[in-house]
Amino acid sequence: MPMSCHKLILALCLAVTTPLMSVTSVLAADQEPAQKVVKSPKAAPIVGLETASELKNRFRIDHMVDNMTLLVEREYGSAPVVIVLPDGSKWYANRHPETVKWVDGITGDIIYIESPMPGPWQLVGKVVPGSTLKKLSKLEIEVQPLPQPIFQGEQVKIVAQLMGDAQRVRMPGLDFLVEWTAHFVSKHRAGDENFAAGDIIVGSYKDNGEDYDEKPDDGVFTSNINVKQPWGDYEFVVQARNNVFERQISFPFRLSPRPINLEVITPDDPLTGQWKIMLHVDSAVLQLAETHFSFELVGPAGLQLPLTVNGLTEPDSELDLPTVTEFGSYRIKGFVATTTITGREIVLDLPELFFNLIQPPEPPPSAEELAAVAAQKAAEEEELAKKDAMFWIITINTILLVLGVVGLIVWRKRQSLAQALAAAESRLLEEASANSAAAPSLDEIDLTMPDEADKDR
């Protein structure tokens, strides 16, 4: 961000303690409601605005100052400033006494100091050139109330401001230093749709030049509130806070039901009939001639068709939808721009509608078709039976042939084995006979014992 786009506001907020009263300084975390009326304290002596830039980020604190808050604007993305006290000691964003509250952002610092030391103080850092000192005695938030009546789904733009001494506080990067939160708190009225809703966070406020915010860093914070909530009585609560301060303001309001209802009319024949949307408008709340609808039909195969209705003559009207032919799911979304009977122009987001184009079942077959199917089935079964029979015939014959061949081989081998055994047996018998003929008989064997003389020899 160019330095030329910055305007320094170095705000020195002073509160004076007197024998009669003590007023808490601006940005003190005293949690008092912002709308409470507080008397402005008697101004303590401070450096004049015309001489502040010559002091180069230096300022003097009087002995009567009870507490103060510094708003320091730095160059974009620079480090937090360092505070040099009159005695030479230094405070940092991450190292300071417990009585000091410090919040730093991308473009600035907010620092709250209890019982500051009297004397000359100095800021060390990339403070935007052209520094000025400004005294503030009271800080509060100013929030634009919600319009009444306000309806479910209404696109509403409301703003809020951080005020110091009834002047809007402007500072580049303030959007990063202050957190805004908006709540809807149900009042639990019997019969209301929000009876059990409780506390609902519905959005915040931003000063970033996006959505409904017109200009960034102009001190005007714009809401992005989601009003698609159950209807009934609420308390609208807005909080602005950081580590240094917290402010809150609340307003009672009633969220009214959406004065427009929609429904899809299904034709008797979804394939050839005309799909329609029935528009129900409460003519006691809205001006029919000033009511304009804008729809978009989203369907299969990337279908996106715009539909518009400009002005109505009857509270209940029908809108013909384009002919749809693709089977699938369809979605209808849109909004309405209208004017209430009190003359307030509003824009309402409409609830989405859905319908399905389902492919019908095919008609049942005729008797001839059934007979043909049966004949075809019988022929297929007969052909299958023939194939099965042929398969088993071939399989069984193959098995029998294999078994026959195996049996023949086994029989031949057994025959050969028997013949070989018989030949071996006959050969053994012949050999045995031959051996028996060559051996001596028992009569031919000499069984006499040798003589003693022979023995002695």
CATH number of the domain to which 247 belongs = 2.60.40.10
| pLDDT at 111 exceeding the cut of 90 | no
| pLDDT at 247 exceeding the cut of 60 | yes
Domain end residue (candidates: 340, 357, 374): 357
242 and 323 belong to one structural domain: no
Q: Does residue 438 lie in a domain region?
A: no
How many residues make up the chain in this entry? 457
Q: 293 Cβ partners below 8 Å, 6+ apart?
A: 279, 307, 308, 309, 319, 334, 335, 336, 350
Q: Domain with 345 in it: what CATH number?
A: 2.60.40.1930
* Cβ-contact 64, 21 below 8 angstroms: no
Q: 């492919």: which residue's tokens? A: 359
Instruction: Measure the CA–CA gap between 172 and 281, rounded to whole angstroms.
Output: 45
Closest CA to 101 of 54, 51, 67: 67
Q: How many domains does the chain have?
A: 3
Average pLDDT for the chain: 79
Q: Name the token pair of 58.
A: 């230096």
Q: Does residue 200 lie in a domain region?
A: yes
Query: Which residues form the domain of 227?
Result: 140-256
25 and 123 belong to one structural domain: yes
By the 10 Å C-beta count (0-12 exposed, 13-18 middle, 19+ buried), 169 is classed as buried
101 and 46 belong to one structural domain: yes
Q: How confident is the model at residue 154 (pLDDT cuts 50, 70, 90)?
A: very high
3-class secondary-structure state, position 197: coil
110 and 154 belong to one structural domain: no
Q: Does residue 447 lie in a domain region?
A: no
* Amino acid code (one letter) for 210: E
Domain end residue (candidates: 113, 137, 161): 137
Instruction: Measure the CA–CA gap between 360 and 270, rounded to whole angstroms.
Output: 10
119 and 151 belong to one structural domain: no
Helical (H) or strand (E) element with 436: helix 367-438
Q: 């604007």: which residue's tokens? A: 73
Q: Does residue 386 lie in a domain region?
A: no
Whole-number CA gyration radius for the chain: 52
Q: Could you tell me which residues are beta bridge partners of residue 39?
A: none
220 and 157 belong to one structural domain: yes
| pLDDT at 8 exceeding the cut of 60 | no
Q: What's the pLDDT score for residue 337?
A: 94
E-state strands within 244-299: 246-256, 260-265, 276-281, 292-299
3-class secondary-structure state, position 37: coil
* % pLDDT > 90, the chain: 32
Q: 């005309």: which residue's tokens? A: 274
| pLDDT at 233 exceeding the cut of 90 | yes
The residue ranking higher by pLDDT, 65 or 159, is 159
| Residue 280, CA distances (Å) to 131, 161, 261, 319 in order | 60, 39, 5, 11
| Residue 356, CA distances (Å) to 75, 298, 331, 334, 430 in order | 58, 12, 9, 18, 107
Domain end residue (candidates: 337, 357, 377): 357
Q: Does residue 102 lie in a domain region?
A: yes
Q: How confident is the model at residue 61 (pLDDT cuts 50, 70, 90)?
A: confident
- Of 62-71, 241-250, 306-315, 403-412, the range with the lowest mean pLDDT is 62-71
* % pLDDT > 70, the chain: 81
161 and 129 belong to one structural domain: no
* Cβ-contact 309, 350 below 8 angstroms: no
pTM for this prediction: 0.59
* Cβ-contact 37, 29 below 8 angstroms: no
Q: Does residue 435 lie in a domain region?
A: no
132 and 144 belong to one structural domain: no
Q: What's the pLDDT score for residue 432?
A: 80
211 and 322 belong to one structural domain: no
Cα 431 versus chain centre, distance: 108
Instruction: Measure the CA–CA gap between 71 and 284, rounded to whole angstroms.
Output: 51
* Amino acid code (one letter) for 57: N
Closest CA to 282 of 149, 377, 381: 149
131 and 144 belong to one structural domain: no
162 and 90 belong to one structural domain: no
| pLDDT at 1 exceeding the cut of 50 | no
| pLDDT at 293 exceeding the cut of 70 | yes
Angle (CA) 210 211 217, round 5°: 35
| pLDDT at 453 exceeding the cut of 60 | no
Q: Does residue 395 lie in a domain region?
A: no
Q: 């400009």: which residue's tokens? A: 310
By the 10 Å C-beta count (0-12 exposed, 13-18 middle, 19+ buried), 139 is classed as buried
Q: 64 Cβ partners below 8 Å, 6+ apart?
A: 16, 17, 18, 44
10 and 128 belong to one structural domain: yes
DSSP label at 96? Answer: -
Q: Does residue 148 lie in a domain region?
A: yes
* Amino acid code (one letter) for 394: I
